[in-house]
Amino acid sequence: MPNKTQLIIVAESHAKPGCEDELRAKLLTLIAPSRAEPGCVKYDLHENPDEPGKFLFYEIWKDDAAFVYHTQTKHFTEFGPKVEHLRLPSPPLRKFRVIA
């Protein structure tokens, strides 16, 4: 039976040309602390094989409260300013729920 309270997040981050390796390294630092959070079900980083530097986080959180907690953690709140110079504008965050 699917858990319909879970929140699925798809978040993209696109590197500026020449910044792919540095952004990748910094994105990888988010994985361990995010996976250790109490409401994290899945937190995976992907990279487009045809477009290096286009990254996607696929996240599953236990519920909305778990995601809100994640967005207030130190590693999350401090991350954006650390990488802003490495990123292009990215698509907005997308949220999903299991329906079947």
For the chain, domain boundaries: 7-96
**Average model confidence (pLDDT) across the chain:** 96
Indicate the CATH number for domain 7-96.
3.30.70.100
Whether 1 has a pLDDT exceeding 80, the answer reads no
pTM of this prediction?
0.93
pLDDT tens sequence across 52-74: 999 999 999 999 999 999 999 99
Whether 38 has a pLDDT exceeding 80, the answer reads yes
Residues 6 or more apart whose CB falls under 8 angstroms from that of 10 comprise: 56, 57, 58, 59, 93, 94, 96
Whose tokens are 């910044």? That residue is: 19
pLDDT > 70: percent of the chain? 100
Task: Give the whole-angstrom CA distance, residue 11 versus residue 2.
Answer: 22
pLDDT score at 9: 98
